[in-house]
Amino acid sequence: MMRAAALAVVLASPAIAQEAADTIVVPQDGAGQRDLLMLDDAAYGACLTALDELGVVYSEAAPIVPEDDADCGILRPLTITEIAPGVAIDPAATVRCPTAEALAVWTRDFVLPAAARLDDRGPLASILNGSGYICRRRNNAADGKLSEHAFGNAFDVMGFTFTDGANIAIEPREAQGTMAESFQDAVRASACLDFSTVLGPGSNAMHDDHLHLDIVARSSGYRLCEQGGATDQ
């Protein structure tokens, strides 16, 4: 997994090394959000160890520092190809390590047990990735607040595939009365235990075809777990 090489790339620049903090810092809107989110060596190492124990398959990548945006980017990005043993991320997603850890814990503790109740589909094969890191504003607007995707703090789930049966796409399913609806409701509700933002069908039209999951830190530990109503991320 080339941890040492990746760390060397990040810490080779004195400016980047100086920006490392003892703990993850709650970001504020404005310049420097990418830098404030950088984990120190100990926290980053602990996060990688957690991924290893969870069976996540990942690779470390060079820092993402867009020249045309002072805020977007990830100083220690990971590319995730498998979020649990035998469960792919399709296509691979680039995110921060804490985002990958939250996704892996949610998958292990809630998604896999829920999938096991779908006895006509076989084991969970993959989680379909709609978006990991991407430098953009919320709802792809031309200006305004940056999305948590811009820092690698977010992951969009488009659906789930199984080894034997039909896929389950994220879509409006109110009152379908199906096991697919029950599965979607279960994994969506449980995601609020591992992510600080969970949006999906019913939140607004922009989220009708996916679950938006992110780990943004808010004051007083507030969590936004919407089943309906307007918002944007």
pLDDT per position as a tens digit, 115-168: 999 988 999 999 999 999 998 877 666 666 888 999 999 999 999 999 999 999
Ramachandran area for residue 158 (φ above 0: left; ψ -120 to 50: alpha; else beta): alpha
Does pLDDT of 19 surpass 80?
Answer: no
Nearest one of 143, 144, 153, 137 to 206, comparing CA atoms: 137
Quick one: how many helices (H) and strands (E) in the chain? 7, 9
Q: Which of 7-21, 51-65, 124-138 has the highest mean pLDDT?
A: 51-65
CA distance 106 to 16: 31
Closest CA to 55 of 95, 91, 3, 103: 103
pLDDT value at residue 22: 25
Structure tokens that stand for 218 in this block = 């808010």
CA distance 35 to 21: 9
What's the confidence (pLDDT) of residue 177?
Answer: 93
Query: CA dist 176 to 23, 68, 155, 179, 182, Å?
Result: 45, 46, 26, 9, 9
The Cα 151–Cα 77 span in angstroms is 9
Average pLDDT over residues 15-35: 40
Which among 176, 166, 229, 167 has a CA at the least distance from the CA of 198? 229
Return the closest-CA partner of residue 114 out of 105, 123, 126, 103.
123
**Comparing 131 with 15, which gets the higher pLDDT?**
131
Longest dimension (CA), the chain: 58
- Radius of gyration (C-alpha) of the chain in whole angstroms: 18
Dig out the tokens for 214 from the structure.
Answer: 């992110």
Using alpha carbons only, give the angle 107, 112, 118 rounded to the nearest 5 degrees. Answer: 145
> CA distances (Å), 126 to each of 44, 164, 174, 214, in order?
26, 12, 24, 19
Higher pLDDT, 128 or 218: 128
Strands 57-60 and 78-84: antiparallel
Most confident of 6-10, 13-17, 137-141, 226-230: 137-141
